[in-house]
């Protein structure tokens, strides 16, 4: 960090956040170790020439005192002309702290609400210490590496509806919101009421003309007294460091600070080029790349579309070249019936019974037509009629039929075996 960045702290409005307060010792130590030049603003904000000596000003909410109209005018001009401001609220907003801070913040498109935020589910020890996870933290420079923070005893922030003319010079972003289970105690002008307030804004930034403002509603985030909710709790110190860097970045050319997710390989390549070719920084390489892409957008996109189309065509052609598998004629795979199959059947019976039998039917008929003719001839030679259901005949009747027609069967063959042999001879099985 450059050693010429000067940060001023407001001491002129009964402010709680001071360098001498022991309750904020961790934050004070952070400021010194970060090499910021620190200054105390004890005479108020009445002179723009004095105020503009600071790169950034930290103003904790005034306590029991109002900002003078002239101070509001000077601070507005300071930011409008490029200054940076961190405004820290506190529970109860203007009402509890008895001040008029919103007369200043409304220039920047937001205001502190007179409430105190609680969370009935996600909190640290007490519901007034809501624990906010990264699902409720938007992507921004100040939220880099921030996963969870605690905003204890905090008021919420309301964003204002701006006219189209105002939107040209004011851009408000909600960076941190409360969870779905948030509720609050809010002063409605007469009394304190309790109500649900899911997704309520807690941390905002505003880009106002040439300057920038960050704001949140708790002083406890700077505290050294509570390790579970103060400066050292979770990522509280990281978001504070990010906010101060965002407010004090030394931008030597007109531009906007954004957070970009780079692939690891591209990041390391960019860092290498910065060192080898003596670029100013990685941002310059990114800007040059985007500038080239912008100037040649149509040509580059046409080339990409052509390449994508060619790739699709090649892939499609490759698919069409793959031959479909030929259909297999299942019937042709079945073995043709041959009369020697009868030998196999009788051989199996012989193996079981131990007896030997003569074969009266032989031959090897390959052609289906010859086989059919042979079957017709055999059937014509057979003597005796058979019922359709062979099981209706007795074993004796079956054996007599086989004997008359010279069909050899084992003497101890079972009825089922005899029927199977007869059906085979008849060509019915």
pLDDT at 254: 44
pLDDT at 131: 97
Q: Higher-confidence residue: 423 or 368?
A: 423
Q: Looking at the predicted structure, is the pLDDT value of residue 314 above 50?
A: yes
Q: Tell me what percent of the residues of the chain surpass a pLDDT of 70.
A: 82
3-state SS of 277-323 is HCCCCHHHHHHHHHHHHHHCHHHHHHHHHHHHHHHHHHHHHHHHHCC
pLDDT band, residue 425 (cuts 50/70/90): confident
Sort strands 56-60 and 6-10 into parallel, antiparallel or unpaired. parallel
Lowest-confidence segment of 115-129, 167-181, 241-255 by average pLDDT? 241-255
pLDDT at 428: 62
- Asked if 417 and 348 count as a contact pair (C-beta separation under 8 A), the reply is no
| Inter-helix orientation angle 282-295/297-321, to 10° | 80
Q: What predicted TM-score, i.e. pTM, was given to this entire model? A: 0.61
Q: What share of the chain is helix, strand, coil (3-state, %, to 5)?
A: 40, 20, 40
Q: Which residues pair with 88 in a beta bridge?
A: 60, 216
Q: φ, ψ for residue 110 (rounded to 5)? A: -150, 170
Residue 359 to residues 90, 271, 342: CA-CA distances in angstroms? Answer: 113, 94, 9
pLDDT at 255: 55
Domain coordinates of the chain in residue numbers? 6-259, 260-294, 333-426
Q: Higher-confidence residue: 401 or 347?
A: 401
What is the CATH architecture assignment of 6-259?
Answer: 3-Layer(aba) Sandwich (3.40)
Helix (H) or strand (E) holding 159: strand 157-159
């Amino acid at each position: 960090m450059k050693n010429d960045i000067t940060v001023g702290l407001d001491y002129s409005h009964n402010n709680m956040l001071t360098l001498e307060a022991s309750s904020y010792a961790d934050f004070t130590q952070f400021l010194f170790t970060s090499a910021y030049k620190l200054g105390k603003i004890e005479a108020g904000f009445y002179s723009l020439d004095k105020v503009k000596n600071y790169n950034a000003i930290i103003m904790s909410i005034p306590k029991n005192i109002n900002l003078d109209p002239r101070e509001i005018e000077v601070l507005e001009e300071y930011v409008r002309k490029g200054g940076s401001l961190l405004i820290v609220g506190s529970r109860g907003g203007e009402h509890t702290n008895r001040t008029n801070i919103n007369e200043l913040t409304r220039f920047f498109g937001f205001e502190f609400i007179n409430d105190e935020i609680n969370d009935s589910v996600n909190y640290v020890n007490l519901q007034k210490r809501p624990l906010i996870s990264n699902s409720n933290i938007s992507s921004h420079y100040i939220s880099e590496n921030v996963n969870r923070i605690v905003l204890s005893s905090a008021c919420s922030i309301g964003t204002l509806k701006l006219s189209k003319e105002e939107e040209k010079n004011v851009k408000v972003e909600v960076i941190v919101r409360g969870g779905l289970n948030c509720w609050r105690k809010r002063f409605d002008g007469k009394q304190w009421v309790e109500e649900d307030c899911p997704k309520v804004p807690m941390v905002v930034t505003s880009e106002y003309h040439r300057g920038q403002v960050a704001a949140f509603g708790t002083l406890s985030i700077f505290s050294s007294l509570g390790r579970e909710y103060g400066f050292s709790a979770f990522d509280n110190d990281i978001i504070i460091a990010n906010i101060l860097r965002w407010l004090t970045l030394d931008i030597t050319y007109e531009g906007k600070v954004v957070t970009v997710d780079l692939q690891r390989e591209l990041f390391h390549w960019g860092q290498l080029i910065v060192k080898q070719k003596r670029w100013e920084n990685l941002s310059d390489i990114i800007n040059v790349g985007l500038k080239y892409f912008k100037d040649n957008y149509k040509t580059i996109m046409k080339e990409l579309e052509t390449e994508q189309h060619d790739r699709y065509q090649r892939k499609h052609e490759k698919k069409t070249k793959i031959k479909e598998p030929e259909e297999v004629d299942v019937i042709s795979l079945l073995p043709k019936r041959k009369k020697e199959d009868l030998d196999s059947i009788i051989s199996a019976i012989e193996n079981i019974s131990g007896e030997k039998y003569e074969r009266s039917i032989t031959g090897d008929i390959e052609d289906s037509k010859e086989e059919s003719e042979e079957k017709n001839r055999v059937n014509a030679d057979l003597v005796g009629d058979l019922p359709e259901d062979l099981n209706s005949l007795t074993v004796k009747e079956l054996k007599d039929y086989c004997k008359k027609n010279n069909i050899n069967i084992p003497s101890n063959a079972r009825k089922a075996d005899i029927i199977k042999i007869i059906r085979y001879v008849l060509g019915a099985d």
